[in-house]
Amino acid sequence: MSARELNPNHPMTTALREHWMKMAALLVAKQGGHVVITSDDIASLGDCGLFLTMRELPDGIHLRLVDEATAHQLARKEGGLPA
């Protein structure tokens, strides 16, 4: 997964960056309280071409993995990349 932020100044990106440990703790809790991430998991994400998107909706924060083209499209729509 890319560590690049396509829209670094967006309020949602800033909020997640500042509270990533809380988000990780919530995700682990939702998975039953224990998650193992191996070095192979990390290495495989480096080449998968997926990007994490975040969107705040009335029912909560939605996290989604999308391909690079979709990530760029969403970032442009939200003002993060030049048109």
The pLDDT-based confidence of 3 (bands split at 50, 70, 90) is: low
Residue 83 lies in a domain: no
Residue 37 lies in a domain: yes
Q: What is the pLDDT of residue 83?
A: 55
The pLDDT-based confidence of 46 (bands split at 50, 70, 90) is: confident
Q: What is the mean pLDDT of residues 40-45?
A: 84
In the chain, the number of structural domains is 1
Residue 26 lies in a domain: yes
> Is the pTM of the predicted complex or chain greater than 0.75?
no
How deeply is 16 buried, as exposed, middle or buried, from its count of CB atoms within 10 A (0-12, 13-18, 19+)?
Answer: middle
Residue 52 lies in a domain: yes
Q: Is the pLDDT of residue 42 over 80?
A: yes
Domain span at 66: 11-77
Q: Is the pLDDT of residue 33 over 70?
A: yes
Residue 71 lies in a domain: yes
Residue 6 lies in a domain: no
Residue 16 lies in a domain: yes
Provide the sign of the torsion angle of the four alpha carbons 49, 81, 9, 65, taken in this order: negative
Reference 1, options 75, 69, 73, 67; nearest CA is: 67
Tokens of 18: 């500042």
